[in-house]
Structures are given as C-alpha cells and as structure tokens.
C-alpha cells in the first residue's frame, strides 16, 4: 500500500522528534530555563534601576519592562538601562560562547567601520574610472520586433 506524501512527511517528523528526544531529552527544559533566567535578569536590572531612581534627590519616573524592550527594539536609551539590557540579551544569545569583553570589542569594531554607500555604481569616482564593469555584448537583450 502506497502512503500519501502527507503521511510520509508526518511519519518522518515523528521519527525526527523521537530521535531528538532520545539524543537530548531535556532540550526543551534547557530552553525554558534560559528564557526564565533571561527574564529574571532583566526584571532584576529594572528593579535595581527603579530602586536607584527612588533614592535619587530629584524624583524620576519608574521604568517598566515595556519601555526597556522598546528601547532595545528602537535602539534608544530613554529608560537609562537599555545598554545593560542589550548586554544581557547578547550574552544570552551567545550562550556562553563569547565573553562580555569580546562582545564590546565586536561592537567597537562595528562602530569604527565607515558607513557603506548603498550603491557603488552611482559614486562619482567610479563613473570616471576605466575599470567600470559592463555586460558583454552577447549578453545584452535585444528586443525582437519579429
């Protein structure tokens, strides 16, 4: 009896799930633990910042989790702790493969590179250059008016 394509795919997915469960039985638990740990670190950072703001001479508004996430997404720092939160996220993404020093060095290197031009063909120094690449004549499309 021939199986349908959908049935073969379903059985294949089930075999893959069984293989994964046998190879790493606690993988889903590890991901859950990383997510919980990350959330706990971010909330601890926000709580520490709010405690510092309460002790400040001039009252400053409280920071909430949503503002920190928005700062990270928009690459801003209105909450005052977005850089520290970004570092926590980067460490979690690196999963211990990169140290904080390596992450900061990579960030410095990225900032030191000049901004790239969107299209090099439009630059004035390339227009005058004799090294400009053009398509070969036999690759140019010629309209066929038939």
**Residue 31 reports pLDDT greater than 80:** no
Per-residue pLDDT at 80: 85
Alpha carbon distance 120, 132 (integer Å): 10
Per-residue pLDDT at 120: 53
Mean pLDDT of 127-141: 55
Answer yes or no: are the C-beta atoms of 68 and 83 closer than 8 Å.
no
Per-residue pLDDT at 124: 56
Q: Is 38 exposed, middle or buried (0-12, 13-18, 19+ CB in 10 A)?
A: middle
Cα-to-chain-centroid distance, residue 73: 10
Confidence of residue 139 (pLDDT cuts 50, 70, 90): low
- The tens digit of pLDDT for each residue in 73-128 reads 888 888 888 888 888 888 877 766 777 888 888 888 888 877 665 555 555 555 55
Mean pLDDT of 28-55: 82
Q: Phi and psi of 22, rounded to 5°?
A: -75, -40
């Amino acid at each position: 009896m021939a199986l349908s394509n959908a049935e073969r795919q379903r059985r294949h997915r089930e075999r893959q799930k069984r293989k994964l469960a046998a190879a790493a039985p606690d993988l889903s638990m590890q991901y859950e633990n990383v997510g919980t740990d990350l959330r706990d670190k971010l909330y601890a950072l926000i709580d520490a910042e709010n405690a510092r703001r309460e002790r400040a001479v001039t009252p400053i508004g409280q920071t909430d989790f949503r503002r920190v996430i928005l700062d990270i997404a928009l690459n801003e720092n209105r909450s005052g702790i977005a850089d520290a939160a970004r570092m926590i996220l980067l460490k979690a993404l690196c999963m211990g493969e990169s140290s904080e020093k390596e992450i900061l060095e990579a960030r410095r290197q990225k900032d030191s590179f000049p901004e790239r031009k969107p299209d090099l063909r439009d630059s004035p120094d390339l227009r005058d250059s004799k090294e400009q690449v053009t398509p070969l004549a036999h690759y140019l499309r010629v309209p066929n008016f038939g």
